[in-house]
Amino acid sequence: MLLYIYSHIAIVFVDRSCTDTAILVFARHPEDEARHKNWLGARRHRANTTLASRLFRSICSEAHATGLPVFVIDSTRQQGQSFGERFHHAITTVFAAGFDKVITVGSDCPFLRSHHLLQAASRLDEGLVLGPDHRGGVYLMAIDRKTFDEADLLNIHWQTPVVLKELMQLATVNLLTRLHDLHSLQDIQRLLARIRKPSGLQWLLSFLIQASDQKNLPELPHTRYMNRVHIRRGPPVLA
């Protein structure tokens, strides 16, 4: 069974008898994300859009790799005035499809992998599962229907440094590993400085090395290696 929620991404559903948990990718459309984040500067809109698209494709690929049902609702499909309203409506959409648990993620955390999603799924019986970032927010929230019905998510101060603190007051919380997300050029600088050798983020590093102003980025010990092998491909798209 296929359900199209995102305009050009196929949302693949596995046999409903196998799982009561679905993944929700709730994110801006890459064009909107590029304008909002503007990582590489206003004059590099094309590069910003390419980066946003690759990050979006990356999280969709990681979600797809779990084998769980995946909903992708980007900013062209979201309903509501505030972030909280749009997020609440998107989660309601997943529950309305018959699922009892939902794992929500955005598209700006390049370190997020399928094993984090599966770990969240395995811990949902223990309560609300949160993946904290380094600015007081979360890169992942996994919630069951009962907790969702009881929690007042609309009054969370979303997109502020108190999100994690407020969410932890709603229910019993199980925390995942803290991960970095990308909101600014400074986040990219920190990301590049942390990675000591070629990794699963080669596509991102290679792209940034080629697209960014070199004087704004730290020198990488493995830059020569990456330039030599010409890593230019993005992550695989959804089948």
Q: What is the pTM of this model?
A: 0.78
71 touches 22 (CB < 8 A): yes
Query: Could you give the percent of the chain with pLDDT greater than 70?
Result: 72
92 touches 143 (CB < 8 A): no
Q: 113 is written with which tokens? A: 């992998």
For residue 142, pLDDT beyond 60: yes
pLDDT per residue over 105-125, tens digit each? 999 898 899 999 999 999 998
Q: Which domains does the chain have, with CATH numbers?
A: 2-175 (3.90.550.10), 185-229 (no CATH)
Q: 37-55 burial, b if ≥16 CB within 10 A, otherwise e? A: bebbeeebeebbbbbbbbb
Rg (CA), the chain: 18
